[in-house]
Amino acid sequence: MEDCKDCDILAVTTTVGSLPDAQALARDILQQRLAACVQLEEGLTSFYRWQGQDREDPEVRLTIKTVPQCERALQALFRDKHPYDVPQFVAVTMRASEAYAAWVREEVTPPAIAGGQLAM
């Protein structure tokens, strides 16, 4: 793929404990135009430590396709809407095809930034 700065997109992953929670979060993200696409993957089992205990729980992974300018707004949305106390927020900048990156940019409305703060 050629070097194209306009081809950069941001992929954010998180997990939640149920399909209804994943669907609600995906709808909130899309309604606020913070992503072009949110993919849900059921059937995961997470093994982790939480509050000093080993845990094993079913989860649903969300993969959120957006633009880098929406990262802070998504973090704010997670603080308000994510069902976990400490949600996974893993963001990776990726190079997409020109056509796919253009579609993502067309579907996303990055929030305005006023005085260094998000205007939401």
Q: CA-based angle 68:94:103, to the nearest 5?
A: 70
Query: For residue 1, what pLDDT is reported?
Result: 46
Q: Each residue's pLDDT tens digit in the chain (120 positions)? A: 456 768 999 999 999 999 999 999 999 999 999 999 999 999 999 999 999 999 999 999 999 999 999 999 999 999 999 999 999 999 999 999 999 999 999 999 988 744 444 444
- Residue 83, token pair as written in the block: 């069902």
Tell me the C-alpha distance between 78 and 75, whole Å. Answer: 5
Q: What is the residue extent of each domain of the chain?
A: 5-110
Give me the CATH topology for the region 5-110: Alpha-Beta Plaits (3.30.70)
Query: For residue 74, what pLDDT is reported?
Result: 97
Q: The pTM is what?
A: 0.89
Query: For residue 3, what pLDDT is reported?
Result: 62
